[in-house]
Amino acid sequence: MDTMLTASSVLSSAIIEWLADEALQQSEPAKLLGELCLRLRAVGIPVMRSQLAFRVLHPLYDASTLTWSMKRDVLVEHFRPEQTGQEQFLRSPVGYALTNRLPVFRRRLTGPTALLDFEVLEDFRGLGGTDYLIFLISFDPSGQNGVICSWLGDRASGFTDDEIAQLQRVTRELGIAMKSRLEHSVAENIAHAYLGRHAGQAVLNGSIRRGDGEKITAALWYSDLRRSTELADRLSTEDFLELLGRYFEMTASAVLDHGGEVVSLIGDAVLGLFRVEGSPQEACARALAAAHEARRRLEVSLSNNAGGPELDFGISLHLGQVIYGNVGVPERLQFTVVGAAVNEVVRVQDLTKQLGCPLLATETFADAVAESWQPLGEHRLRGREILMPILTVPVG
């Protein structure tokens, strides 16, 4: 027996060493948990199911779970803020352990000492489980951040005391590996949410000094909410923010859905960018499709929101060269696009009200993509001396 315990401890130590290496590599969490469970079974620890839960800092979700079982790959689930406080969770073993700050929670599911005081434990026994463990690993003294890991065993006699101690060590090391990965994910989520995926990744890759950037050719997409000042004065704060949210879902989301980048949300305006990586036609076609989609979403919203505040916006499209990079002061930088083409696309949008057309494009843009363009003549842009040909296309 001592020889078996020694061999098991040596193998468990090897798994912990492997976990430490994975933490340095910031391995993908789902793959890490799946590989860990297979290694534990390989050394004789009877794990048939494991679940890892943790909080995340993300605009859409505030918690995630990874669930491994022998019959399927790791299942990844994300939970919105309104979901995580459900009564069902609070009545679960994980919710109970978390609420009562129990570092270790155990329930035998079979035999004379079985205790099935949570509904889900009956389900686990039905799957063939015999022993159930939960460990809480905190990342700070307050216990507000950390991981919750559960292990379901299927050996008739359950986990041995030595295996429980090994699983606790393994879970702690898994928590360390997850802490490193989660901190990296937090940085990515914040950078992508506030800067956009491409700009955020550029910053994470080291483009953090003023002047870091590049010149690129791109199709530019600019929209502006009509009567925003009037709406802000007339509506309550909550209603105006809700309206802004709907407007951005029509416009900014359309840009993202067609492969563009949302460079800036400037008050109630959206500056989008479609990089020219092959022919200008492809980038301009995606920008134009995003414009049509934004107007289509507006029509759907208006038909579904009868009696609500009227919402409208203008869109301008342009093709040109811009400087894409960091501007500002060392203490406060912004990753954005600047240049004459940016100023021009903003000024063209100003003409949507004057010309009575919700979608306008410059001749440079229109020449790059086939469409039923209708010329509207040459117009002098605000702050510019030269005349610029402007075109439109039917929408709706």
Most confident option among 81-95, 164-178, 207-221, 283-297: 283-297
> Same domain, yes or no, for 229 and 163?
no
- 149-191, pLDDT tens digit by residue? 999 999 999 999 999 999 999 999 999 888 877 777 767 766 6
> Same domain, yes or no, for 165 and 308?
no
> Same domain, yes or no, for 108 and 81?
yes
Beta bridge partners of 214: 324
Residue from 198, 201, 197, 195 nearest 216 by CA? 198
Q: Which residues of 327-365 are buried (b: 16+ CB within 10 A; e: fewer)?
A: eeeeeebebbbeeebbebbbbbbbbbeebebbbbbbbbb
> Same domain, yes or no, for 337 and 386?
yes
Residue tagged 């990844």 (tokens): 76
> In Å, how far are 139, 140, 339, 357 from 144, measured between CA atoms?
8, 7, 46, 53
109-113, 204-208, 217-221: the lowest-pLDDT one: 204-208
**Which residues, at least 6 apart from 369, have a Cβ–Cβ distance to it below 8 Å?**
280, 281, 284, 285, 288
Higher-confidence residue of 394 and 56: namely 394
pTM of the predicted model, to two decimals?
A: 0.67
> Same domain, yes or no, for 271 and 316?
yes
Domain boundary among 194, 222, 238: 194
Higher-confidence residue of 384 and 5: namely 384
Q: Quote the distance between the C-alpha of residue 111 and its chain's center.
A: 45
Q: What is the C-alpha separation between 94 and 89, in angstroms, rounded? A: 8
Helix (H) or strand (E) holding 297: helix 280-304
Higher-confidence residue of 285 and 178: namely 285
> Same domain, yes or no, for 177 and 221?
no
CATH of the domain at 385: 3.30.70.1230
What domain range includes position 171? 2-194
Higher-confidence residue of 335 and 154: namely 154
- 300-332, pLDDT tens digit by residue? 888 777 656 678 999 999 999 998 877 777 777
Q: What is the C-alpha separation between 189 and 169, in angstroms, rounded? A: 30
Confidence of residue 39 (pLDDT cuts 50, 70, 90): very high
> In Å, how far are 245, 312, 326 from 268, measured between CA atoms?
10, 12, 22
> Same domain, yes or no, for 26 and 105?
yes
Confidence of residue 333 (pLDDT cuts 50, 70, 90): low
When pLDDT is averaged across residues 251-274 and rounded to a whole number, the result is 92
> Same domain, yes or no, for 212 and 105?
no
When pLDDT is averaged across residues 135-149 and rounded to a whole number, the result is 83
Phi and psi, residue 255, nearest 5°: -60, -50
Q: What is the C-alpha separation between 331 and 197, in angstroms, rounded? A: 22
Residue tagged 């469970």 (tokens): 37
29 touches 66 (CB < 8 A): yes
Dump the DSSP string for 346-375. HHHHHHHHHHT-SEEEEHHHHHHS-S--EE
> Same domain, yes or no, for 385 and 274?
yes
Q: What is the C-alpha separation between 89 and 62, in angstroms, rounded? A: 14
> Same domain, yes or no, for 157 and 173?
yes
The total number of structural domains that make up the chain? 2
CATH of the domain at 190: 3.30.450.40
Residue from 5, 371, 353, 375 nearest 362 by CA? 375
Higher-confidence residue of 7 and 335: namely 335
When pLDDT is averaged across residues 127-153 and rounded to a whole number, the result is 89
Residue from 58, 357, 287 nearest 189 by CA? 58
356 touches 220 (CB < 8 A): no
Fill in the amino acid letter for 183: E
Domain boundary among 151, 175, 194: 194
Cα torsion 61, 66, 67, 72: sign: positive
